[in-house]
Amino acid sequence: MTGGTPARPLTVDEYAPLAQAQLPAATWHYVEGGAGTESTVAANRAAFGRFRIRPRVLVDVAQCELSATVLGDPVGVPLGVAPMAYHELACEEGELATVRAAGSLSAPTVVSIFASRTFEDIAAAAAGPLWLQLYWLHRRDVLQKVVRRAEAAGFRALVLTVDTPRLGRRLREARHGFHLPPHIAARNLDGEVTGFLHDRRDGSSALSRHADAFIDPSLSWSDLDWLRSQTRLPLVLKGVLTAEDAAHAAELGVDGLVVSNHGGRQLDGATATLDALPEVVRAVGGRCPVFLDGGVRHGTDVLKALALGAQAVFVGRPVLWGLAADGEAGARQVLSTLRDELEDAMALSGCPSLKDLDPTLLARGPATAAHDGFHGPAEG
Ligand SMILES: Cc1cc2nc3c(=O)[nH]c(=O)nc-3n(C[C@H](O)[C@H](O)[C@H](O)COP(=O)(O)O)c2cc1C
Ligand SMILES: CC(C)CC(=O)C(=O)O
């Protein structure tokens, strides 16, 4: 096609350059960056490329069923929005646009404790299940308050992030002296725990100084009891990458695990999530559901994670790309593209039901160039 209106993106990756064009450079680099050399960001993508799909034929795929149950709630698709701070950085409506977009697919959203809209407003806009993500703040009284508010607003689970005793060394954030603009804030936290967020300092990220001041790095296994004593909501741990930790968590009776390396933003050099998934699934042995995030950009990535035992996957950056490019409609398009691609992949591999997805669907194969890192829109 030449001239005229630009074509609507057909893939999730095409939203990245559209978002970059809309966002201030510092915000773009905050969203996109990883820790250190960003080797884990790349590894997350590369791991998907090392698996090939073994399609089965002569199966009736006239109807493919994507709906599922996660933590007891029905969802339209085994795909949700990973917790991300400050969606207002991407679009004015922030998390309200996100949950409306996710709601159009009955997909779950994990709302960050650092959301830029209030839990109550987010809940009022949501149609899919909401889970609340927590960081372990020194101020346990503040945690207690946010948990109570989330419960009252109808949130369905708590997700404790366990890979962030401190922030990873995010060089892009530091180089841009990243800080929040004055109109964006952690709306659910009182002023006593929001210091530093708006202060610019060259060569350092305000978010990192904020985390150093307010996130308690002493969090350990024995603290989980306290959190569970505060709530009846299911407790999910986010950021587990090993069989050892997965077995321990399952023994303690947690209600779910997210295999995650925080999108490569924490420990540079950490295992790719798809590579960690099989050992975690094996160690858990069906005692609780296992979820995955990190580098999910195509329906076939979702298919591969489900085949290796994830019950659902979560998507991070692409949702912010969609929001930045086209607000709620952009986020909706990102999620529905992944949904439609997953359905195509199920039909074309002879798997009309999510139950058909198991490890026999996959073979280890040579990496493909398209998965070796960031790839922009197709040429032409
Ligand atoms: C801009 C941004 C903000 C994030 N904020 C949080 C957060 O507040 N809490 C959290 O547990 N994870 C946070 N994450 C990590 C995501 O939940 C998720 O693990 C990761 O983005 C998944 O990888 P993907 O971006 O490749 O899909 C954030 C990620 C990004 C990109
Ligand atoms: C405000 C940050 C701690 C949010 C986060 O987890 C991230 O940027 O990866």
- pLDDT band (50, 70, 90) for residue 368: low
**Where are any strands of DSSP class E within 34-100?**
51-53, 68-70, 73-75, 79-81
Instruction: Check pocket membership of 196 for ligand 1, CB cut-off 6 A.
Output: no
Say whether 133 counts as a known binding-site residue: yes
Share of the chain above pLDDT 70, in %: 95
pLDDT at 192 over 50: yes
Rounded CA separation 231/134 (Å): 13
Confirm whether 375 is domain-assigned: no
The larger pLDDT score, comparing residue 2 to residue 178, is at 178
Domain assignment of residue 225, given as a range: 15-346
Q: ipTM above 0.85?
A: yes
Please give the C-alpha separations between residue 166 and each of 42, 69, 185, 217, in angstroms, as whole numbers: 22, 33, 20, 7
pLDDT digits (tens, 9 = 90+) for 123-142: 999 999 999 999 999 999 99
203 in a structural domain:
yes
Q: Is the CB of 294 under 6 A from ligand 1?
A: yes
Alpha helices of the chain — where are they, by DSSP H?
15-22, 25-32, 39-49, 95-103, 119-125, 140-152, 171-175, 206-214, 224-229, 243-251, 273-284, 299-307, 317-348
116 lines ligand 1 (CB under 6 A): no
**Residue closest by Cα to atom 9 of ligand 2:** 265
Give the pairing of strands 362-364 and 130-134: unpaired
Q: For residue 149, which amino acid is it?
A: R
Instruction: Tokens 């820790």: give the residue.
Output: 35
Single out the residue of 80, 155, 172, 166 nearest to residue 113, CA to CA.
155
Question: With b meaning 16 or more CB within 10 Å and e meaning fewer, what string describes 315-337?
Answer: bbbbbbbbbbbbbbbbbbbbbbb
Tell me whether residue 351 is in a domain. Answer: no
Whole-model pTM: value is 0.96
Q: How far apart are CA 158 and CA 231, in angstroms?
A: 9
- pLDDT of residue 2 exceeding 70, the answer is no
Please report which helix (H) or strand (E) contains residue 135, including its range: none
- Give me ligand 2 centre to Cα 176, in Å: 16
| CB of residue 316 inside a 6 A radius of ligand 1 | yes
Q: Which residue has the tokens 């994670």?
A: 305
Which residue among the candidates 176, 262, 298, 371 is catalytic per the annotation?
262
Q: Is 236 annotated as a binding residue?
A: no
CB of residue 109 inside a 6 A radius of ligand 1:
no
Would you say 262 is a known binding-site residue? yes
Q: What's the pLDDT tens digit per position in 149-167?
A: 999 999 999 999 999 999 9
Find out whether the beta carbon of 189 lies less than 6 Å from any atom of ligand 2. Answer: no
Residue 370 has pLDDT above 50, yes or no: yes
Residue 357 Cβ < 6 Å to ligand 2:
no
Residue 262 annotated among the catalytic residues of the structure: yes
Question: Annotated binding residue at 350?
Answer: no
Q: Which atom of ligand 2 is nearest to the CA of 215?
A: 3
* Residue with CA at minimum distance from ligand 2 atom 8: 85
Q: Which amino acid is at 203?
A: G
**H or E segment and range at residue 85:** none
> Cβ of 128: how many Cβ atoms within 10 Å?
24
| 250 falls within a domain | yes
| Of the candidates 233, 241, 271, the residue with the CA atom closest to the CA atom of residue 257 | 241
Does the C-beta of 85 come closer than 6 Å to ligand 2? yes
Which single residue is written with the structure tokens 């029905």? 74
The answer to whether 247 touches 283, Cβ cutoff 8 Å, is: yes
- Helix, strand or coil, per DSSP, at residue 4: coil
Domain count, the chain: 1
- Closest ligand to C-alpha of residue 261 is 1
**C-beta neighbour count of 119 within 10 angstroms:** 23
User: Which numbered atom of ligand 2 lies nearest the CA of 30?
Assistant: 8
Q: Is 263 left (phi over 0), alpha (psi -120 to 50) or beta?
A: left
Other Cβ atoms less than 10 A from the Cβ of 49: the count is 20
Distance CA 266, CA 163 (A): 7
Q: pLDDT tens digits, residue range 277-300? A: 999 999 999 999 999 999 999 999
| 366 within domain boundaries | no
Residue 339 lies in a domain: yes
360 alpha carbon, distance to own chain's centre = 26
Whether 332 maps to a domain, the answer reads yes
Q: Place 365 in a pLDDT band, splitting at 50, 70 and 90.
A: confident
Ligand found nearest the CA of 262: 1
Q: Which ligand is nearest to the CA of 83?
A: 1
Residue 37 among known ligand-binding residues: no
Q: How confident is the model at residue 369 (pLDDT cuts 50, 70, 90)?
A: low
- Best mutation site among 84, 166, 173, 335 for ligand 1 pocket (most ligand atoms within 8 Å of CB): 84
pLDDT at 3: 57
* 361 part of a folded domain: no
Locus of tokens 């790719």: 272
> Is 297 within any annotated ligand binding site?
yes
For residue 294, the domain's CATH number is: 3.20.20.70
